[in-house]
Amino acid sequence: MRRSLALFFSLILFVVFAIASGCGDPGDVDPKNVGSIIVGVTTDFRIGVDIDQLHVLMKVGDEVVTNKLLTTRDAASPLKLPAEFPFLDVDGGAVVSVQIDAFRVGDAKTPIVTRLASTKVVIGKTLLLRVHVDSRCAVAPGSSAPVCDAPETCIGGLCADSAVEPKVLPVYSPSWSTVTNDTCKPAGGGAPTVAVGEGQADYLPTMELDLAQVEAGPQGGHHIWVALRMKNLRQSGSITKVSGYFPDLDLHVSPFQVIFTFDPDEGGYCKLYGLRYQLDQDHDIQDLLGRVLEVTVQVTDKDGDVGVGKRTVTLSKDFI
């Protein structure tokens, strides 16, 4: 009797298992054979000021799996960066690739930056593929950014291979975009500092009232070269503003601002040089030569932190 009951319950369990197996979704993926890649996109451009559209094209092999245009004008899902674009449950060993086209405000036809990236899926892992849309790669009049032929892409202002070996990719963490390894702004670094110097090809320190050589520019204006060192402000995406004042004339020089990426320097500092500061947009250069000029540099980063540096220089009595 006991043996009959045992056989009966065994038959019931077999039937239940068979039904459950037969009712499963035939499209279910086997976790033993798949992995995921999360594309994490960042930029040092200002959204809505420098760029307002992002075109995202994602492929698994040659198959397009995502083709979307994100804009600041989309009320339901406006363009925001950092952002994540996932390749989920893809067969191990498959090549996944992404193309990011960023468009400047007012130009919806020609991308200012095109960034390519690809890697391979690793079975059982979810990896992070960082893709930075870099202002140093902006193709625009007067820009020194290179034009790269695929599969190369512009990274940090230089052409480089767009393929990334999966062994160098970190495991994905939801906090990836808040973790910083910014060499110019380390965690707990303290208050921002800015030192004003001079230099066209490097940062050179200056003392108060040092001579600043005035030069004639290629378009008829006259300028001096301004450089700076800073600490505890973002390396990329920071707005650098240069302004000037002639105290004995009570004259202000028109300011200008740029968004340039800083270079690491000694002692934990970062530097920026080759800032051409025009003096005679509103004033005759002959009235300014030999005068004392107060130069102020303000750096504002994406976190809202601000550093200000000042230096008083004496303009040369002639120009070259």
pLDDT in tens, 30-48: 567 999 999 999 988 889 9
Q: Which domain holds residue 256?
A: 193-319
Which of 133, 168, 203 is at the close of a domain? 168
Look at 132-141, 201-210, 290-299 and tell me which has the smallest mean pLDDT.
132-141
- Residue 186 maps to a domain: no
Residues 68 and 128 in one domain: yes
DSSP letters spanning 48-69: TTTEEEEEEEEEETTEEEEEEE
- Asked whether residue 201 falls in the same domain as residue 163, the answer is no
What per-residue confidence (pLDDT) applies to 2?
Answer: 47
pTM over cut 0.85: no
CA–CA distance, 202 with 265 (Å, rounded to integer): 10
Q: CATH number of the domain at 249, please.
A: 2.60.40.2550
Q: Is residue 306 part of a domain?
A: yes
Per-residue model confidence as pLDDT tens digits over 281-297: 888 999 999 999 999 99
Q: Is 85 found in the same domain as 156?
A: yes
Calculate the average pLDDT of the chain: 87
pLDDT tens readout for residues 88-138: 999 999 999 999 999 998 888 899 999 999 999 999 999 999 999 988 898
Q: How many domains does the chain have?
A: 2
Domain assignment of residue 50, yes or no: yes
Dist CA 200 CA 71 (whole Å): 37
Q: Same structural domain for residues 131 and 232?
A: no
Read off the CATH number of the domain in which 145 is found. Answer: 2.60.40
**pLDDT value, residue 247:** 95
Look at residues 153, 168, 183 and tell me which one is the last residue of a structural domain. Answer: 168
Asked whether residue 160 is assigned to any structural domain, the reply reads yes
Examine residue 16 and state whether it is found in any structural domain, yes or no.
Answer: no
Residues of the chain with pLDDT > 90: what percent? 64
Q: Is residue 235 part of a domain?
A: yes
Distances (CA, A) of 6 to 3, 10, 14, 19: 5, 6, 12, 20
